[in-house]
Chains A and B, each alone.
Chain A
Amino acid sequence: MEIGLIILSRWLHLLSAAVAVGGFFFAWLVLPAGLAILQPADREAVLLQTRRRFKPFVHSAILLLIITGIYNTMLNWGKYKLNPPLLHPIWGTHVLLAVAAFCVAFYVLAGRSLRTNHRLLMAINLTLLIAAIAAASTLKWAREKTVAEHSTPIVEMR
């Protein structure tokens, strides 16, 4: 049961990240290219509609990222204690980058009209999210390496 929950939690974390990163990438690069032929008024109307439709996906993804992130951290906290000087800064960087990306996402999707620099904000958000993934990958690698190096006795022989 617990193993199923661990797998489900990790899957939801990855899925939410995919929705956020892929969605922002599409909204930043692909959609504007598709809308380039439209009149400015039409283009803005479509972008506003896109933002309205995209918002529930992003908000759900952020909620799931926070819940599954807390659960994953609780599961691995014991491993992080094995080598705090290495693992805690990487974990902190991952969390800080994610929180910064959430703030930018909330800001760029808030309000009734488009932000004047919404494309720049989306690019910044995408960069933050990709950096957060880099920190997560490094964290996972460092955590597995630390666990492998620590040969603490798990089964005590009588």
Chain B
Amino acid sequence: MSPFLIALLYLTARYVHVVAATFLVGGTLFYEMVVPMAIDDLRPEQQLVVFARARLIFTWIVWISCAMMLVSGVVASQEHWDFYNPPEQQAQPRFNWGRLPGYWQEWGTSRPTSRPQHMHPQRPPRPLPPEEVFVGHSGLWWAAHASSGLLSLIIAFGLTLGKAPHPSSVRWMRINLAILLLVMFLASATRQARLAEEQHRMTMQQVEGRG
């Protein structure tokens, strides 16, 4: 694929990811905080019908947004995978699932005080400026963002299943809104950590090039 098409793909993925997130977060906030107060004057049976009809349309928005976020999230992660999973970390031996019984046996008999090196690969120490240590490794932020994002998508998807809303759906919607806000915060932190690492790599390359 040509570099132009790749750049266009990454740009579109980022755009789609943000737009889908705004639909999901803003729609949830509107559905949960604005609509109930706005229909307060209607009769209870009218309120139920309005809620049910709005939910039907919102279900499609949630499903499409979830699908768009998953696909665009995978593409965006692939774009920055080199930062989230650096080459020096990839060079380390990985966990061997085939040897899992052996690991278990070893754990049961010898009770090691620390996990074997091949189960917990260590990155070689890379000096970071003190002001950037707070941000840390972008891969960890990415993992937190991706896992919490997946959890929120599963909750959102689960809330739209079935013909009638679950009695505790309002409470779950509030919980999901809080998780979505956390996911957005983790996205910002991931980006900041990645930019700090990018800056650090460039600095180190320049130092090595001149040395």
Complex interface: chain A residues within 8 A of B202 (CB): 148, 151, 154
Q: Is the CB of A151 within 8 A of B41?
A: no
User: Could you tell me the dominant secondary structure of chain B's interface residues?
Assistant: helix
Return the contact of B40 from the options A25, A49, A141 (Cβ within 8 A).
A49
Q: Is the CB of B61 within 8 A of A45?
A: no
Q: Smallest Cβ distance from A43 to chain B, in angstroms?
A: 10
Q: Is the CB of A19 within 8 A of B25?
A: yes
Bound complex: CA A140 to CA B199 (Å)? 16
Q: Given A25-B26, A29-B57, A34-B54 in contact, is the A11-B134 Cβ separation under 8 Å?
A: no
Q: Given A11-B185, A30-B54, A34-B53 in contact, is the A22-B38 Cβ separation under 8 Å?
A: no
Stretch in A50-58, A92-100, A110-118 touching the partner: A50-58
Task: Answer yes or no: A130 CB below 8 A from chain B CBs.
Answer: yes
Q: Smallest Cβ distance from B38 to chain A, in angstroms?
A: 4
Q: Is the CB of A22 within 8 A of B11?
A: no
Task: Answer yes or no: B151 CB below 8 A from chain A CBs.
Answer: no
How many residues of chain A have a CB within 8 Å of chain B?
A: 55
Bound complex: CA A148 to CA B205 (Å)? 12
Q: Looking across the interface, which residue of chain B has its beta carbon closest to that of A157?
A: B210
Q: Looking across the interface, which residue of chain A has its beta carbon closest to that of B12?
A: A137
Q: Looking across the interface, which residue of chain A has its beta carbon closest to that of B10?
A: A141
Complex interface: chain B residues within 8 A of A40 (CB): none
Complex interface: chain B residues within 8 A of A35 (CB): 50, 53
Q: Smallest Cβ distance from A118 to chain B, in angstroms?
A: 15
Return the contact of A23 from the options B15, B30, B37, B185 (Cβ within 8 A).
B30
Complex interface: chain B residues within 8 A of A6 (CB): 192
Complex interface: chain A residues within 8 A of B131 (CB): 2-3
Q: Given A3-B134, A133-B22 in contact, is the A22-B50 Cβ separation under 8 Å?
A: no
Return the contact of B135 from the options A3, A14, A137 (Cβ within 8 A).
A3
Complex interface: chain A residues within 8 A of B40 (CB): 49
Q: Is the CB of A18 within 8 A of B185?
A: no
Complex interface: chain A residues within 8 A of B54 (CB): 30-31, 33-34
Within 8 A of B (CB), among A1-36: 2-4, 6-8, 10-11, 14-15, 17-27, 29-31, 33-36
Q: Smallest Cβ distance from B181 to chain A, in angstroms?
A: 7
Pairs A–B under 8 Å by Cβ, sample size 11 = A18-B26, A19-B29, A21-B23, A21-B26, A31-B30, A31-B54, A34-B53, A49-B38, A140-B14, A144-B195, A153-B206
